[in-house]
Amino acid sequence: MSPILGIWASSRAAAAGDYESIATVSVGSGGAANVEFTSIGTDWTHLQVRAIVRTNYTGANSDGLKINFNGDTANNYAWHQVGGNGATAFAQAGSTTGTIYAAYIASNSTGSNTFGATIIDVLDYRNTNKYKTLRNLTGIDNNGNGLLMLGSGLWQNTNAITSIKFTQWDGTSFNQHSHFALYGCKSA
């Protein structure tokens, strides 16, 4: 196999049957300041988070989803995003930050009962020989006035990831019915 094909094959997206449910969190009445998956085992090669999210922020039609690994809030993160809303495209980035700005999510200014959806892949989360990376796809539909975003993130640490914490960029809590599901993916 050529080196390029070998790289592609080892980083391919897994088939639907390759995912194993690890844990889920559904936010209850009163909301939640954060959502955290802890004591993540080492049984998988990659992790995936699937979430539908809405926050209590009222300043705009969207809020941001922040991610921290293993309780690290030091400036060990970087992130990149590209996206658009059908009329305007954007690109933004952050480096040496205290979190990964991973996704746009719905806020209380978004249409009633509207949630943002995101899929986040955390690659090689247990490999202690390299920094950790993630990629994500997120979107919000607000009665035809939504947005779509692709992003990536970097945690400049070689420790295996044992916990993932989610917080809001502008809001103070996730609304009731926000849902986070963590999956493990084994390599072929």
- Distance (Å, rounded) from C-alpha 38 to C-alpha 124? 17
Q: pTM for this one? A: 0.89
Q: What's the pLDDT score for residue 3?
A: 39
Does any domain span residue 20? no
Q: What's the pLDDT score for residue 145?
A: 81
- Distance (Å, rounded) from C-alpha 4 to C-alpha 20? 28
Q: What's the pLDDT score for residue 9?
A: 41
Does any domain span residue 5? no
Question: What is the separation, in whole angstroms, between the first and last Cα of the chain?
Answer: 16
Structural domain including 75 reads 32-185
Please give the full DSSP string across 94-135, using - where no structure is assigned: EEEESSEEEEEEE-TTSSTT--EEEEEEEETTT-TTS-EEEE
Does any domain span residue 66? yes
Q: Which residues contact 75 (CB under 8 A, 6 or more apart)?
A: 96, 97, 98
Q: Can you list the pairs that 11-16 forms with residues at least 24 positions away whose Cβ atoms lie under 8 Å? A: 11/123, 13/121, 14/46, 14/185, 14/186, 14/188
Q: Which residues contact 146 (CB under 8 A, 6 or more apart)?
A: 85, 86, 139, 140
Q: Is 181 exposed, middle or buried (0-12, 13-18, 19+ CB in 10 A)?
A: middle
Q: Are 83 and 148 in contact (CB under 8 A)?
A: yes
What is the block-wise mean pLDDT of the chain (188 residues), using blocks of 10 residues?
A: 40 63 97 98 96 94 94 98 92 97 92 93 97 96 86 98 97 97 87
Chain centroid to Cα 2, Å, comes to 32
- Distance (Å, rounded) from C-alpha 178 to C-alpha 116? 9
Does any domain span residue 18? no
Does any domain span residue 95? yes
Q: In total, how many domains does the chain have?
A: 1
Does any domain span residue 2? no
Nearest to 47 by CA among 167, 187, 150, 182: 182
Does any domain span residue 82? yes
Does any domain span residue 17? no
Q: What's the CATH number where 47 sits?
A: 2.60.120
Q: What's the pLDDT score for residue 143?
A: 78
Q: Are 85 and 139 in contact (CB under 8 A)?
A: no
Q: What's the pLDDT score for residue 1?
A: 40
Q: DSSP H helical segments within the chain, as ranges?
A: 3-10
